[in-house]
Structure 1
Amino acid sequence: MPLYKEIILKDNAKLYLWKITEDIEYLKHAVKLNTNSQNRVDSMKSESHQKGFLAARMLLQHIGYTDFDLYYDTFGKPHLTDGKHISISHSHTFSAIAISNQSIGLDIEQVKEKILKIASRFMDVSHLENLSETEKRIKATVIWGIKESIFKIKNIEGISFRNHIFEEDFSLEDKKATATLKYENKEENFDILFDSAEDYIFVCAFEKQ
Structure 2
Amino acid sequence: MPICNQIQINNSCRLIVWKTSEPLEELLHSVSLTPKEEVKLNSFGSQSRKIEFVATRCLLQLSLGENVLIENDEHGKPHLINSDLNISVSHTKSYVGILIGDKYTVALDMEYLSDRVYRIANRFLSEDELDNIDEKNKILHLYQHWCAKECLIKMYGKKDVHLINELKIAPFSPGSSTFSGQVCRADFSETYTFQYLQFDNHLLVYSIKKANSY
The answer to whether TM tops 0.5 is: yes
Counterpart selection for 2:131 from 119, 126, 136: 126
Counterpart contact for 1:3–1:59, Cα < 8 Å: no
Q: Displacement of 1:47 after TM fit?
A: 0.6
Distance 1:170 1:32, change over 3 A: same
Percent identical across equivalent pairs?
25
Counterpart of 1:44 in structure 2: which amino acid? F
Q: TM-score, normalised by structure 1?
A: 0.91
Q: Does 1:87 pair with 2:82?
A: no
Q: Does 1:191 pair with 2:196?
A: no
C-alpha separation in 1, matches of 2:32 and 2:132: 44
Distance 1:207 1:68, change over 3 A: closer
2:39 matched to which residue of 1?
39
Counterpart selection for 1:114 from 116, 136, 142: 116
Deviations 1:42-101 (A, max 9, x none): 100111111111111121122133374323333332122321100011101100000012
C-alpha separation in 1, matches of 2:160 and 2:75: 13
Counterpart of 1:73 in structure 2: which amino acid? D
1:160 matched to which residue of 2?
162
Q: Displacement of 1:117 after TM fit?
A: 1.9
Alignment of 1:1-209 (within 5 A): 1-66=1-66, 68-80=68-80, 81-101=82-102, 102-123=104-125, 124-129=129-134, 131-132=135-136, 135-207=137-209, 209=213
Give the length in aligned residue pairs.
206
C-alpha separation in 1, matches of 2:67 and 2:180: 32
**More displaced 10-residue stretch of structure 1: 73-82 or 46-55:** 73-82
Deviations 1:162-207 (A, max 9, x none): 1111011122222311111101253211111111121111111234
Counterpart contact for 1:53–1:90, Cα < 8 Å: no
C-alpha separation in 2, matches of 1:148 and 1:137: 16
Counterpart of 2:98 in structure 1: which amino acid? I
C-alpha separation in 1, matches of 2:7 and 2:192: 20
Distance 1:74 1:120, change over 3 A: closer
Task: State the superposition RMSD in angstroms.
Answer: 1.7
C-alpha separation in 2, matches of 1:163 and 1:111: 25
What secondary structure is seen at the aligned counterpart in 2 of 1:99? Answer: strand
Q: Which runs of 5+ in 2 are unaligned?
A: none
